[in-house]
Amino acid sequence: MNIQKIKLRDLGNVKYQYGISTQKKIHDELINEAKILFLEHDKVITIGTKGESKDILFTEEEISKKGFEIIKSDRGGQVTIHNKGQLVCYLIIPIKKFNIKPVDLVRKIEDLIINFLRKYKISAIAIKDKTGVWVNEKNIEKKIAAIGVRISNGVSMHGFALNINNNLNDFNLIVPCGLEGSLVTSMVNETSINLDKDSVKLNLIEEIKNIFNCEVINE
């Protein structure tokens, strides 16, 4: 059986609109090929297709003073935050070629993140009717990764945002994913160790290979 190939491009720290426009350009030009983008966004609050402005707990002026933009996104999901120290992964994949049904894509992403976090002795779970990946400690659920995808013309867009060593206080500006009282956490918060960003990315790539049964090629 032929192993599929996915090309990986690391954009580094970029403005949200640059990341989105790069993703859209790749998506529109993609012909039977798969690509993944790693990136980190500056401060931004995004509202997904199911999101509501009421889940932003401050006025637009107050948000702006704190250094955040507010942007409506065509990804699935509700309101979330991107900031420095969070790794964003955009998956631009022709799902039929990878034998993935639309309903199964989010489950695959959840499994990918859960397996990856296990390498760091972080026990994470998926929770029914709560999109994303969570850490449950003493019956307290804390979100460690947000997931929001879109499929257009059979090709996926957007993906997930994994909290590594970002400022979790920023999440006090919103109701994360529309869930009142929802808490967030990060890899550093759960492990209390310094994490090397490059090794984190390498471990994540290994799980991408496993979950999508593919070879990952750096562009």
Catalytic residue numbers read: 177
Report the candidate in 176, 165, 162, 177 with the shortest Cα–Cα distance to residue 115. Answer: 162
Q: Is 61 exposed, middle or buried (0-12, 13-18, 19+ CB in 10 A)?
A: exposed
Report the candidate in 120, 161, 170, 118 with the shortest Cα–Cα distance to residue 143. Answer: 161
Tokens of 184: 């967030």
Mode of pairing for the β-strands spanning 183-184 and 34-41: unpaired
**DSSP state letters, 82-107:** E-TTEEEEEEE-BTTTTT--HHHHHH
Displacement of CA 8 from its chain's centroid (Å): 15
Report the candidate in 8, 204, 215, 37 with the shortest Cα–Cα distance to residue 118. Answer: 204
Question: What are residue 160's DSSP bridge partners?
Answer: 89, 147
